[in-house]
Structure 1
Amino acid sequence: MKWGRKYGPDYVNRLHGMVARHLSCPFRVICFTDDTDGIRPEIECLPLPPLNCELPQRSRGKWRKLSLWNRDLHGLSGPALFVDLDSVIIGSLDGYFTLGARDAVILERNWSKPLSGLGQTSVFRFLIGSRPEILERFQADPQAIADRFQYEQHYVTHCVGSDLQFWPRGWNRHFRLHCLGPLPLRYLRPAPQPRRARIVTFPGGPNPAEVVAGRWEADSPPYRGRRRHIAAALASPHPWEQLRHFVMPVRWIGDAWKD
């Protein structure tokens, strides 16, 4: 899904290229978007599915993603794998379609709350049209749902309940938590490629484009080395935050993240 201006068409095109290199069966890449400009013609672009309710105003969650649970998703059918645009595919995707029953809902564990039993939806599989009650319950009172669960993925976890499955450990990795590592390590070596991982996700930044360039934000200066970054961070109004926002250029992401 792509809406607004946070991600350009290059993110969509590169995702298609990564899927093509890592999936051995026939596939379709479908992008639900409000702007098709620049997206390659082999990618099927469809309008954003209707949410049919107001978006919550007091929540940071990606509530628009709940529209994927529509009873009718533009006439599509069958199992679908949803992948966030800011993801880098580095291994085979075949197992994402063969694991579990056809109608299984499979999420990744919430890495920031490992003991909570919560899932997160950077990479998840679902049977299109199989659980419309997830969206319908939200439509009845979106603000109350958002106030209670805070994030869309927490709400989905609750709705699926005991039927929820998780991906095998290690298939999906969080760049900041599993690759970049704690503060001292990110100053000692570029983030290593995680072993056995198939998809690397980037919740909360930095994004793949910035990691390739060795910067934290799109408007940050190009990589200047460790000493210059530390000096600039200590001179800033928020030195601790700036010290944490450091990443060396990562070659393996540049090698994988292309169309």
Structure 2
Amino acid sequence: MKQVICINWGTKYGPPFVNRLYAMVARNITPPFSFTCFCDDPAGMREEIRTFPLPEVDFEIPKTRYGIWPKSRLWGERLGDLEGPVLFLDLDLVVVGNLDPFFEEGEPEDVILARNQSTPFERLGQTSVFRFPVGALKPMQDHLASDPQRLAEEHRFEQRFVTRNAPGGIKLFPRSWVLHYRQDCTRTFPLNYMLAPKLPDGAKIVIFPGGVHPPHAIAGHYGERYEPKGPVEHLRGAFSADRPERIDKYLRHYLLPAPWVADHWRE
């Protein structure tokens, strides 16, 4: 049984994102599989999705500018009724290829993360795609509980905390399996004004850290600060007094729509 999990709290994402993720997984995995969401409210989720309350912890979840520390709830001894390896997926990623290899890589007891290519000189994992055995990360959770706010601020991102503190160390999925939308799919200036973002061969998952999410990719704009515009109109905006950022970033941050994102990111 291939076990996929996700977590949802608050109102930022909610059932539409969970349902869409389930559908993408179901289209790209060989049964049997289970899909479990740990959440504060299961209302509106598809009947195929197994739900459990957010796992309780005996420490205050740290709040920092960068890390998504509520994920630490999943590091405990128990996760609902699940046992053995589980594959965690972020709600805002896009599944574009077969997921079976994520369950075949390494050994069942391994902790395996996607590679974070934003820090090429640091061996850093990316917890958007993250496989681990249920219960194996309890020592890591206990370490965080010893001084949660200090440790969170010291590591900045929870993925750095996992990379450095996972019992027995971590392994990394092949680089070509998990791609970063802004870094691997969008075009460099000035090609970004002429060519739509690409989907490289061999990709299985595309992640969207850094403010550009699937709806932005589909519409063709760089995060919340921009509206979809044609290339000429965007270029004219470079000389506007209300340009949202300095000119070099503004020019690089033009995106054409990516229809392939819409093809995959759907129920």
TM-score (norm 1): 0.93
Q: 1:194: which partner in 2?
A: 200
Give 1:58 deviation, angstroms.
Answer: 4.2
- Aligned partner of residue 74 in structure 1, secondary structure: coil
The answer to whether the Cα contact below 8 Å between 1:66 and 1:134 also exists between their aligned partners in 2 is no
1-structure distance, mates of 2:238, 2:15? 32
C-alpha distance in 1 between matches for 2:121 and 2:168: 16
Does structure 2 retain, via aligned residues, the 8 Å contact 1:25–1:94? no
Q: How does 1:14-25 map to 2 (within 5 A)?
A: 14-25=20-31
Unpaired runs of 5+ residues, structure 2, are 1-6
Farther-moved stretch of structure 1 (180-189 vs 167-176): 180-189
Query: What pairs with 1:52-131 in structure 2 (closer than 5 Å)?
Result: 52-131=58-137
Counterpart CA distance in 1 for 2:119 and 2:167 is 17
1:215/1:247 contact within 8 Å kept:
yes
Q: Which piece of structure 1 moves more, 35-44 or 131-140?
A: 35-44
1:112-131 CA distance string (max 9 Å, x none): 11221111111010001122
What residue identity is the alignment partner of 1:72? R
Q: Which residue of 2 aligns with 1:160?
A: 166
TM-aligned CA distance change 1:92 to 1:188, over 3 Å: same
Distance in 2 between residues matched to 1:49 and 1:162, nearest whole Å: 23
Aligned-pair CA distance for 1:51: 3.1
Match of 1:225 in 2: 230
How far apart, CA to CA, are the structure 2 residues paired with 1:43 and 1:57?
Answer: 29
Residues 1:252 and 2:242 are matched in the alignment: no
C-alpha displacement at 1:55, in angstroms? 2.7
Task: State how far apart, in whole Å, the 2-side matches of 1:209 and 1:58 are.
Answer: 25
Q: Which amino acid aligns with 2:197?
A: A
Is the aligned partner of 1:216 residue 2:222? Answer: yes
For residue 168 of structure 1, give the secondary structure of its aligned residue in structure 2.
Answer: coil
Residue by residue over 1:125-175, the C-alpha shift from the partner in whole angstroms, topping out at 9 and shown as x without a partner, is: 000112201111101110121122111110111112763111012000000
- Residues 70 and 132 of structure 1 are in contact (CA less than 8 Å); yes or no, is this contact kept in structure 2? yes
Deviation digits for residues 184-243 of structure 1, max 9, x if unmatched? 23222000111101000001131111211112335743x221111222343124343443
Distance across 1 between alignment mates of 2:193 and 2:167: 41
* Greater helix proportion: 1
Q: Following the alignment from structure 1 to structure 2, what is the Cα–Cα distance between the partners of residues 94 and 209?
A: 26
Q: Does 1:45 align with 2:63?
A: no
Partner of 1:134 in structure 2? Answer: 140
Report SS of the residue matched to 1:246.
coil
Q: Percent same amino acid among aligned pairs?
A: 40
Distance 1:244 1:131, change over 3 A: same
Name 1:234's counterpart in structure 2.
239
Counterpart among 7, 12, 31 of residue 6 in structure 1: 12
Contact 1:214 1:247 in 2 (8 A): yes
In the aligned structure 2, how far is the partner of 1:217 from the partner of 1:112? 18
Count of residue pairs brought into register by the alignment? 258
Instruction: Give SS of 1:64's match.
Output: helix
Structure 1 runs not aligned, ≥5 long: none
User: After the TM superposition, which of the residue ranges 157-166 and 118-127 deviates more from structure 2?
Assistant: 157-166
Q: 1:181 Cα deviation (Å)? A: 3.4
Higher mean displacement: 49-58 or 165-174: 49-58
The answer as to 2:53 corresponding to 1:33 is no
Whether contact under 8 Å (1:69, 1:131) holds in the other structure is yes
Name which of structure 1's ranges 156-165 and 110-119 shifts more when overlaid on structure 2.
Answer: 156-165
Name the amino acid aligned to 2:17. Y
